[in-house]
Structure 1
Amino acid sequence: MRTPVPDTLAQPAPGRLPHPRRRFAYLGPEGTFTELALRSLPEAAGSPLAPAADAADALALVCRGAVDAAMLPVHNTVAGVVADTVRALAESPALTVLREVVLPVEFALLVRPGTSLARVGTVSGHPHAGTQVAQWLDRRVPRARWIPAPSNAEAARRVRDGECDAAVAGDFTAAHYGLQVLVTGIQDTAGAATRFLLCARHGGPGFPQPARADRTSLVGRLPGRPEDVDGLVAGLRRHPFLRAASLRAVSDGRGGAVLFADCPGGTDRPATARAVGLLRRRVPGLRFLGSYPSAAHVPSYERSKTMQTETTSAAGGSTEPASGDIARLRERIDALDHFLIGSLKQRLETSREIQRIRTGSGGSPVDSGREAAIRGRYAEELGEGGAGVAEALLEMCRGRSPR
């Protein structure tokens, strides 16, 4: 069933002169992290936004020209790749990725006003959210039944309408559905983040060309039998041209598999061009999704204001002074630091587990070849100084603090 396109996508608001504006879709309904990611982009300010029921529905709106672009979640640092999005990208021809957004994600338990934790018998949320709060739910509501939903906002709607007792979602979602935030910070891992992609049609309405391209993505079906997929992907990962690439395979839901590949840099870089060429030779059905800016170059967002449908500037009011802009940027830096510290802790724990395994079997705790590849990746991604960041990180993960 296709998502109906709201009238606001076709008609200007009363009292406003018609002018060319971008039209966007996102994984809905209202109140999702995906909407938050979309509203963080300056080109979405004041633009009509259409919530879609799922990733395939959002991309269908793009492909038939009902909207100019769609924002979709593609990967979470804890739960991994978002399979629905990857499958939808593989099934949608003639798409390109314009840019990415990365948001820190924290979850709350939302209930109807007056509901206590003891009365929660059913909990709903997106499967990725369920993965990220599973331990908390097991500890605090062990008898509650989990009900997966297409999105966390849809789970909140179900709670509002009495279809279940609680929803796992962002705390900002509560206001959209008249719910109460019962508990905040219920995620099992601090510093988790979700990556989102803004996708448009090839040859569709033009968007400003990015000043630089930091990432190149491809998607397509993997050849062969399902049992051969793991071996094929493992072989690709071992190839020296693909050491810096990220390769993620998901089920296509029909007994096959889909590959989503990320390569650092744009195809104007020789190393990236080699990696893309190799991938397309080894996986003939792989489709180029484009080169685009990484999240490091996306403007900051402010959670409390980006979720509002009208901003002060859109209503014709005055803009905030520069000091307010600085405060917002500092808030984003604090959020990013929180995310980085959480990620570093996870990396430390993982590295030390690898060291225990290697030394337990009589090997060296350090793999010099692997470390050289990491230094190269950081240098390629971050430019001058990247190798120094990698060295400090490697020193820390070896158990010695950097000087």
Structure 2
Amino acid sequence: MTLPRYAYLGPSGTFTEAALRAMVDVDEVEMVPAIDVLSALASVRAGDVDFAVVAIENTVEGGVTATLDTLATGAPLVILGEVVLPVSFELVARPGTTVGSIGAVAAHSHGLAQCRRWLAEHVPGAVQVAATSNAAAAGELAEGVAGFDAALAPPGLGARLGLEVLAAGVADNPHSATRFVKVGRPTAVPHATGADKTTLVVHLPDDRAGALLAMLEQFAARGVNLSRIESRPRSDRPGEYSFSVDALGHIDEPRVAEALVGLKRTNPVVVFLGSYPAASGYPTPVTPGTSEEEFAEARTWVQGLRSGRH
């Protein structure tokens, strides 16, 4: 029996691999490392793998633009689940290296961003080198082919590679976390759990005062709360923006479905990126008057009016 194939940002040892391991039983899947987010998602679109696990948001830099933009365009993909992991780093180097001798330190760009203040304080003047992943930077360092002296690595990876840990718990924010999502090709939407998110991309109809408010009112009028909204520049219309949105709720719930109907009626492009269980597990808050039962009662009342029952 063929195992489902999962692409993730490699090589082995990345935070993305840890997220994948938190989502699935690794004995029941085939893990396929990818060089970057674009490659991982492209392999899903091409059918080379069944799913990809990618970072979509972190508590320091916000949305991961490579993920948001790649999901928003091209052949349809959907989010099927999410997990949130705490993130901190170890500063690792080849044995014999001292903190004072570090002239350059490497990590993924988001890793560098999450440690910029720590690096400025502890290795001032060191050049920061962006790598394809934190694990890749540590791997190059261990192999002796790196053009840098140290790397920011996930905890435990440096020791496994024979590197020396110069500092642990490296992070500007001790509560830093990254949200990862499982992505696949469109299929029947999983049933609502009562603690769900729906992710969308919306292009506004025109660039005018109040256009964003009109879009947001589609959610507000139906009691749908947004946990995230980010603007992204439109490649086809410079100076204009689309919006990436996480709404609390599921497309099976009437309030969310009706919000989607309203968005589709009033905006030229609405990309549905899935309804899936929220990592928090917290029940979706329901505003009075917007429960499934209250929508059903209202529809029954309108049908009665049409048939002459008042």
Aligned to 1:146: 128
Aligned to 1:192: 176
* Superimposed CA distance per residue, residues 254-303 of structure 1 (whole angstroms, 9 cap, x where no aligned partner): 84645321110101223322333344445422211111111135xxxxxx
| Residue number among 59, 76, 84 corresponding to 2:66 in the alignment | 84
Aligned to 2:201: 219
Aligned to 1:159: 141
Residue type of the partner of 1:150? T
Distance 2:265 2:8 in 1: 33
* 1:380 lines up with 2:284 in the alignment: yes
1:129 partner SS:
helix
What are the ranges of 5 or more consecutive residues in structure 1 without an aligned counterpart? 1-18, 298-377, 384-403
1:138 partner SS:
helix
Distance 1:132 1:114 in 2: 26
1:194 partner SS:
strand
Report deviation, 1:210. 5.3
Distance 1:105 1:269 in 2: 34
Aligned to 2:107: 125
Identity of aligned residues (%): 37
Residue type of the partner of 1:267? I
Distance 1:381 1:113 in 2: 53
| Residue number among 149, 169, 178 corresponding to 2:162 in the alignment | 178
2:141 partner SS:
helix
Distance 1:381 1:139 in 2: 42
The question of whether the paired residues in 2 share the 8 Å contact of 1:87 and 1:258 is answered with: no
Aligned to 1:53: 35
Matching of residues 342-361 of structure 1 within 5 Å:
none
Higher helix proportion, which one? 1
Distance 1:280 1:146 in 2: 44
Aligned to 1:102: 84
Higher strand proportion, which one? 2
Residue type of the partner of 1:202? P
Q: Give the TM-score of the pair, scaled to structure 1.
A: 0.62
* Superimposed CA distance per residue, residues 24-71 of structure 1 (whole angstroms, 9 cap, x where no aligned partner): 001122211111000112354342111111111111111111111000
Aligned to 2:293: none
2:128 partner SS:
strand
Aligned to 1:40: 22
The question of whether the paired residues in 1 share the 8 Å contact of 2:92 and 2:150 is answered with: yes
Residue type of the partner of 1:172? G
Aligned to 2:303: none
| Residue number among 75, 93, 118 corresponding to 2:57 in the alignment | 75
The question of whether the paired residues in 2 share the 8 Å contact of 1:24 and 1:68 is answered with: yes
Aligned to 2:95: 113
1:109 partner SS:
strand
Q: Give the TM-score of the pair, scaled to structure 2.
A: 0.79
Distance 2:109 2:211 in 1: 27
User: Of the two structures, which has the highest relative contact order with CA contacts closer than 8 Å and spacing of 6 or more?
Assistant: 2
The question of whether the paired residues in 2 share the 8 Å contact of 1:78 and 1:132 is answered with: yes
| Residue number among 20, 29, 39 corresponding to 2:2 in the alignment | 20
Report deviation, 1:236. 4.1
Q: CA RMSD in A?
A: 2.9
The question of whether the paired residues in 2 share the 8 Å contact of 1:158 and 1:164 is answered with: no
1:45 partner SS:
helix
Report deviation, 1:129. 1.6
* 1:269 lines up with 2:253 in the alignment: yes
Residue 47 to residue 200, structure 1, CA distance change in 2 (3 Å): same
Matching of residues 271-310 of structure 1 within 5 Å:
271-296=255-280
Report deviation, 1:211. 6.1
The question of whether the paired residues in 2 share the 8 Å contact of 1:39 and 1:45 is answered with: no
* 1:240 lines up with 2:240 in the alignment: no
The question of whether the paired residues in 1 share the 8 Å contact of 2:81 and 2:276 is answered with: yes
Distance 2:200 2:149 in 1: 40
The question of whether the paired residues in 2 share the 8 Å contact of 1:152 and 1:168 is answered with: yes
Residue type of the partner of 2:130? P
Distance 1:88 1:149 in 2: 20
| Residue number among 186, 205, 214 corresponding to 1:202 in the alignment | 186
Residue type of the partner of 1:380? T
Distance 1:159 1:215 in 2: 40
What are the ranges of 5 or more consecutive residues in structure 2 without an aligned counterpart? 288-310
Report deviation, 1:99. 0.5
2:115 partner SS:
helix
How many residues are aligned here?
Answer: 279
